[in-house]
């Protein structure tokens, strides 16, 4: 097997285009939405009071001009971009091993957010269950006993076989091995995988195409921002834009060393979908400054403020992880200053990936109670 | 001045089409969304347990087939269909009295939901403030002193002059008269008005056009469902479809006598936008069985269940009033039986107007805590 560094050589825009051809019939072309109100709010300078107590205290507030283009993967099948990678990985597997073998052996996975399954996690597990059900392949999903009943029901509803385990990674791997030894099921990992990355990268291909169609100009997007958890989405998006002028920025929530991959994420965050160490292959892409320009992080309060704006003003339901990119545009003075200086009067067209919308009314209530 | 019965003669589909020509540049063409998951849920028979304790207890659950088409007026300007009527009424006023007179005198209104202004009310006041600001007309908005700060801020942000009064209708009318005697401002009523009704009716015109374009067939919508508060939306929609095969149904929440207009609505409901007696002119339309076929009502729990489905499955933010039509399709066995019997295997294409989305994360939290 090749090393992550070798594999990353094959991560090219052409690989993303090929992935899109393959998965197109199985996924939604999610809408690219704009919101004049959010553009206006983000293009208004922050007040001196808002900057008090932040690292930007005392600075003159930046005066950026933003035009946002929201890629609504919260409206994707199963409510998250993960439907892309799961379908792509399974379709490639069938291509490589043949339908007969894959249908005989089946596929197996576990949730990437295994340590703390909450309402908005387990997206990969649900995505694979859906893909397997569509393509008539048996699927085994290993979930912790403590999973929420709605998540278990969601996975079962696609006809997958749910197998419970304890909640540590050791217990999980033991259960995965046990099922594999019985069934010979093939593991489809949640994010640290070439085909998963190519699948998630199709988000960028659609985003760019929809922007070009709407704007009717030859101008490119100035930047595209995605959250980073395991890193599959960001690595895919960065791969797609690697030969283009659009900058790719990523937003992390905890777990980002100074240029060094962090192996264990212990930060607690409401953006629980992002509470995952970056995968080895993903790291090869996203730590490459030619591919991903900036790394930003946001506070819990900023995530909540951005989420409130999206729900109340844009009337769209998103999970906390999905709004971290918007939060940076709203609150990070370093980023805002850059948009002011580089974008000037004309401003920047910024693509923001709303990565998912799997939350509940109770979870929303708890966040804002 | 002509009587409501006489005025209602002029409420024709042609009047709605003319209204649409006039307001088109000022309003959003809101999307018509579908949701396979909600179709599937509504097309699944209710369980015997779900019917226990309801008037349908013991009946064999109906087996209807639904295809929903959601007209998203929650994504309209100011977050509700009321932007249509307010713009239409003001544009007609300028046409009739001349720009000079209207700009000199200004316009005045009050919230239709005056008795209990909450987060999702005051939509007409905000809509008129927006229309007046766009057309450079002074606007006076009478609001109760107890209005929520966010609602006041929203109205002020459009440059309207907010005038406070006590919270009863007598106190309100006194303040309106006082301002009118000083300024000669022209009253634009919230719903019981010919031009307001024509404006709200443009919702139906767009809904039908978007359905035809999407479905690429000559089939008409089988039914269109709207909530009824003051009745402007329903009367407008019923007027538009009055020469077509599409049935119009309305959903009321309290305040509906057996074929008799109710003058005072005392029912408390989470769908507070609907807590208004039906206007006199609106009554002429909506009590006409040839125009509005059915009247249904729903319980608070059913509204909450429908709202949860729209937020969690469809990922769209709506206010409680907006989902009462969906609630009927999900829970009312009389309606479901009718769809089963008349629609058969092929089922019904049902247009549902999501009337507004003006709620807050705190209000959502409170509903589901």
Residue of B nearest to A365 (CA): B365
pLDDT of residue A256: 58
Residues of chain A neighbouring B364 (CB-CB closer than 8 A): 311, 361, 364-365, 368
The answer on A324 and A233 residing in a single domain is: yes
Question: What would the pLDDT profile of A98-156 be if each residue is shown by its tens digit?
Answer: 999 999 999 999 865 544 434 334 788 889 999 999 999 999 998 877 766 666 776 77
Q: Which of B102-106, B177-181, B290-294 has the lowest mean pLDDT?
A: B290-294
Question: What would the pLDDT profile of A155-170 be if each residue is shown by its tens digit?
Answer: 777 778 888 888 777 8
Closest approach of chain B CAs to the CA of A130, in angstroms? 13
The answer on A172 and A210 residing in a single domain is: no
Cα–Cα distance measured from residue B287 to residue A329, given in angstroms and rounded to the nearest whole number: 51
Question: How many Cβ atoms from other residues are within 10 Å of residue A39's Cβ?
Answer: 17
Count of the separate structural domains present in chain B: 2
Q: Does B152 or A309 have the greater pLDDT score?
A: A309
pLDDT of residue B118: 41
Domain limit, last residue, from A153, A187, A221: A187
pLDDT of residue B257: 57
Sign of the dihedral through C-alpha B102, B27, B324, B296: positive
The answer on B269 and B151 residing in a single domain is: no
Structure tokens at B312: 């969690």
| Confidence at B259, pLDDT banded by 50, 70, 90 | low
The three-class DSSP label of residue A246 is: coil
Mean pLDDT confidence for B336-363: 95
Mean pLDDT confidence for B62-88: 96
The three-class DSSP label of residue B5 is: helix
The answer on A30 and A159 residing in a single domain is: no
* Average pLDDT over all residues of chain A: 89
Residue A333 buriedness (CB in 10 A; 0-12 / 13-18 / 19+): buried
Active site residue A218: no
DSSP states along B69-111 = EEEEGGGSGGGBTHHHHHHHHHHHHHHHH-HHHHHHH-EEEE-
Question: What would the pLDDT profile of A183-196 be if each residue is shown by its tens digit?
Answer: 999 999 888 899 99
Residues of chain B neighbouring A318 (CB-CB closer than 8 A): 315
Residues of chain A neighbouring B362 (CB-CB closer than 8 A): 368-369
Cβ–Cβ gap A316/B312 under 8 Å: no
Catalytic residue (one of A43, A112, A242, A355) = A112
Q: Which residues of B are catalytic?
A: 82, 112
pLDDT at B341 over 80: yes
The answer on B265 and B206 residing in a single domain is: yes
Q: Does B313 or A256 have the greater pLDDT score?
A: B313
pLDDT of residue B230: 85
Q: For residue B331, what are the CA distances in angstroms to B34, B41, B325?
A: 19, 11, 10
Domain limit, last residue, from A169, A187, A205: A187
pLDDT of residue A258: 59
Q: For residue A330, what are the CA distances in angstroms to A44, B7, B141, B171, B204?
A: 9, 50, 32, 42, 37
Domain limit, last residue, from A187, A207, A233: A187
Cβ–Cβ gap B367/A359 under 8 Å: no
The answer on B92 and B74 residing in a single domain is: no
Question: What would the pLDDT profile of A331-366 be if each residue is shown by its tens digit?
Answer: 999 999 999 999 999 999 999 999 999 999 999 999
pLDDT of residue B16: 98
pLDDT at B128 over 60: yes
Question: How many Cβ atoms from other residues are within 10 Å of residue B163's Cβ?
Answer: 15
The answer on B358 and B312 residing in a single domain is: yes
Interaxial angle between packed helices B324-331 and B300-309, expressed in degrees from 0 to 180 and rounded to the nearest 10:
100
* Chain A residues touching chain B at CB-CB below 8 Å: 74-75, 79, 307-308, 311-312, 315-318, 357, 359-362, 364-369
Closest approach of chain B CAs to the CA of A319, in angstroms? 10
Closest approach of chain B CAs to the CA of A49, in angstroms? 19
Active site residue A112: yes
Closest approach of chain A CAs to the CA of B307, in angstroms? 9
- Global pTM reads 0.91
The answer on A310 and A201 residing in a single domain is: yes
Cα–Cα distance measured from residue B340 to residue B354, given in angstroms and rounded to the nearest whole number: 24
Whether the CB-CB separation of B284 and B5 falls below 8 Å is answered with: yes
Whether the CB-CB separation of B118 and B148 falls below 8 Å is answered with: yes
First CA to last CA across chain A, in angstroms? 50
Question: What would the pLDDT profile of A34-73 be if each residue is shown by its tens digit?
Answer: 999 999 999 999 999 999 988 999 999 999 999 999 999 9
What is the number of CB-based contacts under 8 A between chain A and chain B? 64
| Confidence at A230, pLDDT banded by 50, 70, 90 | confident
**Residue where the block lists tokens 């569509």:** A134
Burial A8-23 (b: 16+ CB within 10 A, else e): beebbbebbeebbebb
Mean pLDDT confidence for B252-263: 64
The answer on B124 and B101 residing in a single domain is: yes
What value of ipTM does the predicted structure carry?
A: 0.89
Cβ–Cβ gap A315/B316 under 8 Å: yes
* Average pLDDT over all residues of chain B: 89
The shortest CB-CB distance from B365 to any of A74, A318, A369 is to: A369
State the residue range of the domain holding B210.
4-78+194-367
Instruction: Please report, for the domain that includes residue A243, its CATH number.
Output: 3.40.50.1100
User: Which residue, A284, A275, A192, A263, is CA-closest to A227?
Assistant: A275
Question: What would the pLDDT profile of A253-289 be if each residue is shown by its tens digit?
Answer: 755 555 677 666 666 778 877 777 788 899 899 889 8
Residues of chain B neighbouring A312 (CB-CB closer than 8 A): 317, 359-361
Q: For residue A93, what are the CA distances in angstroms to A99, A105, A293, B285?
A: 8, 12, 33, 61
Question: What would the pLDDT profile of A66-99 be if each residue is shown by its tens digit?
Answer: 999 999 999 999 999 999 999 999 999 999 999 9
Residue of A nearest to B307 (CA): A361
pLDDT of residue A342: 96
Cβ–Cβ gap A364/B365 under 8 Å: yes
Question: How many Cβ atoms from other residues are within 10 Å of residue B341's Cβ?
Answer: 10
The answer on A203 and A154 residing in a single domain is: no
**Residue where the block lists tokens 């809509």:** B127
Cβ–Cβ gap B312/A359 under 8 Å: yes
The answer on B163 and B278 residing in a single domain is: no
Question: What would the pLDDT profile of B292-311 be if each residue is shown by its tens digit?
Answer: 988 888 899 999 999 999 99
The answer on B198 and B181 residing in a single domain is: no
């Amino acid at each position: 097997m090749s090393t992550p560094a070798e594999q990353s050589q094959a991560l090219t825009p052409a690989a993303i285009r090929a992935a899109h051809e393959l998965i197109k019939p199985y996924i939604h072309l999610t809408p690219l939405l704009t919101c004049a109100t959010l553009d206006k709010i983000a293009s208004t300078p922050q007040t001196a009071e808002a900057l008090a107590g932040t690292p930007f205290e005392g600075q003159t507030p930046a005066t950026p001009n933003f035009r946002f283009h929201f890629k609504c993967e919260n409206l994707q099948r199963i409510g998250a971009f993960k439907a892309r990678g799961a379908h792509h990985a399974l379709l490639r597997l069938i291509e490589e091993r043949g339908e007969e073998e894959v249908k005989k052996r089946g596929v197996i996975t576990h949730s990437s957010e295994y340590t703390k399954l909450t309402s908005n996690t387990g997206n990969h597990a649900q995505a694979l269950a859906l893909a397997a059900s569509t393509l008539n392949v048996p699927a085994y999903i290993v979930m912790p006993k403590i999973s929420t009943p709605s998540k278990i029901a969601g996975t079962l509803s696609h006809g997958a076989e749910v197998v419970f385990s304890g909640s540590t990674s050791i217990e999980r791997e033991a259960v995965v091995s046990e099922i594999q030894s019985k069934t010979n099921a093939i593991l489809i990992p949640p994010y640290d995988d070439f085909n998963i990355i190519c699948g998630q990268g199709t988000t960028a291909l659609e985003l760019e195409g929809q922007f070009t169609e709407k704007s009717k100009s030859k101008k490119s997007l100035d930047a595209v921002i995605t959250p980073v958890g395991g890193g599959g989405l960001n690595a895919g998006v960065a791969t797609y834009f690697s030969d283009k002028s659009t900058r790719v920025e990523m937003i992390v929530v905890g777990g980002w060393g100074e240029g060094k991959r962090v192996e264990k994420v212990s930060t607690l965050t409401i953006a629980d979908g992002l509470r995952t160490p970056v995968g080895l292959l993903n790291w090869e892409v996203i730590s490459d400054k030619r591919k991903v320009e900036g790394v930003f992080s946001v506070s819990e309060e900023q995530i909540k403020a951005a989420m409130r704006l999206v729900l109340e003003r844009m009337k769209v339901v998103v999970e906390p992880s999905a709004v971290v990119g918007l939060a940076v545009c709203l609150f990070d003075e370093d980023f805002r200053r850059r948009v002011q200086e580089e974008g000037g009067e004309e401003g920047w067209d910024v693509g923001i990936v709303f990565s998912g919308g799997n939350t509940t009314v109770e979870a929303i209530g708890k966040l804002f109670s």
